[in-house]
Structure 1
Amino acid sequence: MYRSSKLKTIILSICFLSIISACSLSSEKPNDLNIEVENFTYTNQENVPFGLSDLENKVWIADFIFTNCTTVCPGMTYNMVQLQSKMKEAGVDAEIVSFSVDPSIDTPEVLKEYVSKFGADFSNWHLLTGYSDDIIQKFAKNSFLTIAQKDENSDQVIHGTAFYLIDQQGIVLTKYDGNNPDFDQIIKDIKSLE
């Protein structure tokens, strides 16, 4: 009798702990990267300076694209427009920042025209350029642990395809597959930072 009672107590305790753990995990803030974004000021699609100070106390999503891309960038840009729309529907407040990895071609005007074709809303989307290839290569590596390098055999740029979640203090918390993003997870993670 005593053993049976003790066993029930142990099983109930394990079940209770499992439920508590699951509940705490669901509201936990993502933080598998924990990288501080280097200070920056570049040029946005309106041809005005825009930098890390403009994102202070804001949650933001970042990616790396270029307008002459013949592979992943159109799909990533389409997905970012979808994310922007879903964030608006969910009442989620976050900025979007796309860094060009081909700044010699991607002028502010070219970037704006490119993203406009996908139906982007520029009220919270910032397309950045106005730096050298070397600067964006180092910035991508140091702040996002990703690559941004010209392909020596073509006019293309080799770059990462992730969407990154950055918190109000400019810390990169986690990343998502920009080619096949889990929109619900991204929105949930943004909400966990509010």
Structure 2
Amino acid sequence: MFYLRDFVLIASLVSALSASAVQAHEHEHQHHDKNETSEAVEPTKLSEESIYNLGSELLDSNGKKVSIVSLKGQPVVISMAYTSCAYACPLIISQMQQLEKEVEAQGLKARFVIVSFDPKVDTPSVMKKYAEKRKLSSRWNLYTSSSDKTPREIANLLGIKYKKMEGNDYDHSFIITVLDKDGVIRGQQIGADKEPKELIKFLKN
């Protein structure tokens, strides 16, 4: 005969087992979430050779402060110039545009960056107008800074030398550099007499 006390006993056992199963599931779920969270927030370490370790702060063409490490994520073709330059700097940009066409033709990814070493003249608005004048695509970022300190730091890492001359002109190196997605130098074109398309091989690795 089935008594009420038997029903109560069975109900209590089922309830206890269900509660235990729920607690176990919640514990496992919390543990899983914890692991996912720790993996998501764990920062990616930069190579010691990355120029992004510099952490320099730049100004984009809208006047917004950005860190150089914001370039991280895809290959970068980078050089330095100043907007009032009459010969070498326009040639640097033209050669970078030639490389950009090759990048597009081969379906590769890359960003193109110019950092000004004349921050007093090359304000964000000046850089923006210069980009429009040269019809630079959305692949390009033109940066200036609030002082000469940041350009000097970046120039040193890229091997670029520049010196201010009379009449607000600069004597400077002609160097175009390819960085990998983590900011490590993969190759350079040194001199205007080289073929910029040769840099394409450094964008494939």
Normalised by the length of structure 2, the TM-score is 0.68
Partner of 1:131: 146
The CA deviation string for residues 14-59 of structure 1, in whole angstroms up to 9 with x for no partner, is xxxxxxxxxxxxxxxxxxxx95312222111122223233222321
The CA deviation string for residues 167-193 of structure 1, in whole angstroms up to 9 with x for no partner, is 1221122211462442432122201x2
Q: Which amino acid aligns with 1:162?
A: I
The equivalent position to 1:172 in structure 2, one of 159, 163, 185, is: 185
Partner of 1:188: 201
Q: Which amino acid aligns with 1:127?
A: L
Alignment length (residue pairs) = 156
Partner of 1:149: 163
Point out the structure with max Rg over C-alpha.
Answer: 2
Give the secondary-structure state (helix, strand or coil) at the position aligned to 2:168.
Answer: coil
- Paired with 1:134 and 1:55, the residues of 2 have a C-alpha distance of 19
RMSD (Å), alpha carbons: 2.0
- Paired with 2:49 and 2:171, the residues of 1 have a C-alpha distance of 22
CA contact (8 A) 1:46 1:108 kept: yes
Give the secondary-structure state (helix, strand or coil) at the position aligned to 2:77.
Answer: strand
Partner of 2:103: 87
Gaps of 5+ in 1: 1-33
The equivalent position to 1:50 in structure 2, one of 42, 63, 66, is: 66
CA contact (8 A) 1:59 1:168 kept: yes
The CA deviation string for residues 88-120 of structure 1, in whole angstroms up to 9 with x for no partner, is 122110111100010111111211222322221
State the 1:87 CA deviation: 1.2
- Paired with 1:148 and 1:83, the residues of 2 have a C-alpha distance of 24
81 and 147 in structure 1: CA distance in 2 versus 1, 3 angstrom threshold = same
Gaps of 5+ in 2: 1-47
The equivalent position to 2:176 in structure 1, one of 145, 163, 186, is: 163
> How much identity, in percent, do the aligned residues show?
23
The CA deviation string for residues 96-147 of structure 1, in whole angstroms up to 9 with x for no partner, is 11000101111112112223222210x2211011231243123311x11221
Give the secondary-structure state (helix, strand or coil) at the position aligned to 2:189.
Answer: strand
Normalised by the length of structure 1, the TM-score is 0.72
The equivalent position to 2:131 in structure 1, one of 115, 131, 135, is: 115
